[in-house]
Structure 1
Amino acid sequence: MSSSTPADAGSKPAGPLSGILVVSIDQAVAGPLCAMRLADAGARVIKIEAEDGDRARDYDKAMGSTSAAFGWLNRGKESVVLNLKDPGDLALVKAMLARADVFVQNLAPGASDRLGLGAAQLTKEFPRLVVVDIMGYGRETSYASKRAYDMLVQSESGICAVTGTPEVPSKVGISIADIGTGTNAYAAVLEALFERERTGRGQALEVAMFDCMAEWMSLPLLHFDYMGVETARFGLSHASVYPYRPYHCADGDIVVSIQSTAEWVRFCTTVLRSPEFAKDPRFIDNWARVQNRDALDEAIHAVFTPHSCAEMIERLEAGQIAWARVSTLHDLSVHPALRRIPVEMPGGEMAEMPRPAGRIVASGAKVPPLGADTARIRAEFAGAAPAAAKQA
């Protein structure tokens, strides 16, 4: 483990990754998300930016001094502005990597290799370094050189083919390819650091957006490959579990989810008050219900529509059936289950961010102004010993 304490890091709370130094050259979502998760866990993260900064800084001005995307994904980091085409600045990056534990990059295809920061070179030069290349498509595939953005990868991976209405394919409304890839990259880094504890060696990690989405598409892909079934688009209805969709009440909609035979029997008895439905051959098991969804929906709507949401929720609760409302963004903003953390923006504004799952982020997390730490980091790493000597 390297010593990664910055000169002014006394205020940064300790965490499970305290002492780990991460250097990241990243943009937009996937790379910054991976690095932020490491920062949340206590790692020191130095984000290298060009003179005009991460392009996500200027997506909007939702947070006043920065965009919503940048404010969300860059808390707890230090920002240094460097010109990677300048030999002196590139040498400074190498000096940083000589002390680093993890290097994260999601530059355009081939850019890291052209800069002399490719995974093969770095893992040879710095044997303990974990190098994370976040890319659109696997390096050995014919798509390796293609630029990849979230919606493009959603489209290529088939996500859009199973999302939307029967008439209109859609992307998922948030950047799931980016978010999923950043999350997978974070998990891969933790595994690599754990393995390094046993072997003493780092490794090169390739995390492709397409791989992430293709793996998430496993269920419809396996249905197609092994059953010849092409998953259709059903809007806000589940394609292969039924009933699992919203039903209309007199004053709104309620999403109902039936996951097992026992739940189906309780639903028929307590909610529909028609126990005979549970033994109807058309609805006897999940696959039968999927095949006869139109007839089933007609029967369920006939029960739900005359009643209020409150009345049907009372029945669902009595039958121990899972349900949900279709929340708006306003509903989410005031949702009783929403937990938040305070984060300081680059201009000093305070924002309340959703709390990340699985951890409590200490208060006081800050999003760095562009280049806020440049002078200090230049001084800290200037004249560092040759990389190979540091990591050998």
Structure 2
Amino acid sequence: MNDNSSFATSAASTSRPLDGILVIALEQAVAAPYCTSRLADAGARVIKIERPEGDFARGYDRTVNGESSYWIWINRGKESVSLNLKDKADMVILRAMLSKADVLIQNLAPGATERLGIGSEQLRKDHPRLITCDISGYGDEGKFFGMKAYDLLVQAESGLVAVSGAPGEWGRIGVSVCDINAGLNALIGIQQALLLREKTGQGSAIKVSLFGSAAELMSVPYLQARYGGKAPERVGLKHPSIAPYGGFTCADGRDIVISIQNEREWADFCNIVLRRPDLLADERCQNNASRVKHRDFVDGTVADIFDKIPSGEMIDRLTEAQTAFGQINSVHDLIAHPQLLTKRMKVQGKDIEVPVSPWMGPWDTETFAEAPQLNEHGHKLRKEFAR
């Protein structure tokens, strides 16, 4: 695990890409907050509008100095104000914010903003430079419009579950991949809309759905099933058309995954890793198609050899052979991983470390800004936007 400060030290005074951009976020849970936290990282001023009881993501757990891990992950660097959107005075404050905003992003229940009189279409008529981004579960039309769409439900509905994991009981992907992917798509759309506004002076309507984002991830299985007639099956760590490929257990119980992509790699793997050059003459192993056809024999042979060798020695052999491999790590292994970069962040006055953003630039800062307390900036913001 490495601190990222060496990269960021010279960046503290660098202007950031979204300096001066005001984002109003009517957001909750994961998808929209993921997007806006990245906008904040890039310099945008993000004002998070929370219901009086707060974003329910605040209560998902209490694992980080008494705060929710979800909350601090995707709400850093924002300002929080608690508004009751059914209260006329609070709506006046919100409308004042929107009149000065560059971006509105919202992932409230379908139709909620329209019922409140702040639907995206009307707002863009009132404020032509405004960029609106609506994140929904299933889009804004069709029989699924209005259905609740949590990450697990969309993993199932989109077919992601059907191509993930091993045969047997269904399982979800272990992180909120549909939420995160939708948030990333919203981020891309907003950035493109900001660039377009530089050319045209006009805002744009960005629409993102969790289902559409997940379905796009499923493009390869979709194409294989629709035009090839056969959908991929759940094969665990194996690959349906490559062998050997997958996880094997070493003598000390450590699991290592390998991937053999071509015949040169197979020859080096046999000679250096397995120390079984005779396999190169075995008709069951003469090429990848043969190895896939005789997968039980190939995988069984590899497994027997791995089972006799401790992981340290096996890693040395794999490295010498330049075989592609990785260790199956636990979350605790990730924490100590030599390639992990982290940043410091304050939570309840104490320093913690969190993984850095997956992209870094010269504007990167040495630390992450804190995630706000509920209504932390309420008094200041109400005063700033009072009419």
TM-score scaled by structure 1? 0.89
Q: Equivalent residue for 2:7? A: none
Structure 1 residues 140 and 326, CA gap change in structure 2 (3 angstroms): same
Does residue 386 of structure 2 align to residue 382 of structure 1?
yes
Determine if contact 1:63/1:349 at 8 Å carries over to the other structure.
no
Task: Please report how far the alpha carbon of residue 380 of structure 1 lies from its aligned counterpart in structure 2 after TM superposition.
Answer: 0.9
- 1:214 Cα deviation after fit: 1.0
Q: Distance in 2 between matches of 1:33 and 1:288?
A: 45
| Amino acid of the structure 2 residue aligned with 1:154 | Q
Alignment correspondent of 1:310: 312
Letter in 1 for 2:382: R
Displacement after TM superposition at 1:228 (Å): 1.7
Partner of 1:60: 61
- The partner residue of 1:319 within 318, 321, 341 is 321
Structure 1 range deviating more: 269-278 or 255-264: 269-278
Residue 280 of structure 1 and its aligned partner are, at CA, apart by 5.6
Decide whether aligned partners of structure 1 residues 134 and 290 sit closer, same or farther in structure 2, where only a CA change above 3 A counts: farther
Tell me which amino acid in the other structure corresponds to 1:18.
Answer: D
Q: Match for residue 167 of structure 2?
A: 166
Partner in structure 2 of residue 42 of structure 1: 43
Deviation digits for residues 108-154 of structure 1, max 9, x if unmatched? 11111111222211221111111111111122332121110000000
Residues 143 and 262 from structure 1, CA distance in 2 versus in 1: closer, same or farther, beyond 3 angstroms? farther
Distance 1:278 1:344, change over 3 A: same
Structure with more contact order per residue of length (Cα contacts < 8 Å, sep ≥ 6): 2
Distance 1:160 1:361, change over 3 A: farther
Alpha-carbon shift at residue 269 of structure 1 (Å): 3.4
Distance 1:123 1:286 in 2: 57
Matched residue pairs, number?
A: 372
State how far apart, in whole Å, the 2-side matches of 1:290 and 1:135 are.
42
Asked if the contact 1:24/1:35 (under 8 Å) is kept, the reply is yes
User: Which residue pairs with 2:93 in the alignment?
Assistant: 92
The aligned counterpart of 1:370 is 374
Measure how far apart 1:107 and its partner are. Answer: 0.4
Deviations 1:303-352 (CA, angstroms, capped at 9, x unpaired):
2222121222112111111111111121111111111111122x323221
Q: Does 1:206 align with 2:207?
A: yes
SS of 1:368 mapped into structure 2: coil
Cα 1:97–1:178 change in 2 (3 A) is same
> Which residue pairs with 2:266 in the alignment?
264
Superposition RMSD in Å: 2.0
The answer to whether the Cα contact below 8 Å between 2:76 and 2:368 also exists between their aligned partners in 1 is: no
What SS does structure 1 have at the residue aligned with 2:354?
strand
Unpaired stretches in structure 1, ≥5 consecutive residues: 1-10, 384-392
Contact 2:343–2:356 (Cα < 8 Å) also in 1: yes
* Conservation of the 8 A alpha-carbon contact between 1:39 and 1:77: yes
* Cα distance, 1:221 vs structure 2: 1.7
The aligned residue for residue 255 of structure 1 is 257
TM-score normalised to structure 2 length:
0.90
Gaps of 5+ in 2: 1-11
Percentage identity across aligned positions? 45
Residues 154-233 of structure 1 aligned to structure 2 (within 5 Å): 154-233=155-234
| Counterpart residue identity of residue 103, structure 2 | V
Q: Mark the CA change 1:91 to 1:288 in structure 2 (over 3 Å): closer, same or farther.
A: farther
State how far apart, in whole Å, the 2-side matches of 1:286 and 1:115 are: 60
Q: Secondary structure at the match of 2:345?
A: strand
CA distance in 1, matches of 2:238, 2:134: 36
User: Secondary structure at 1:264's aligned position in 2?
Assistant: helix
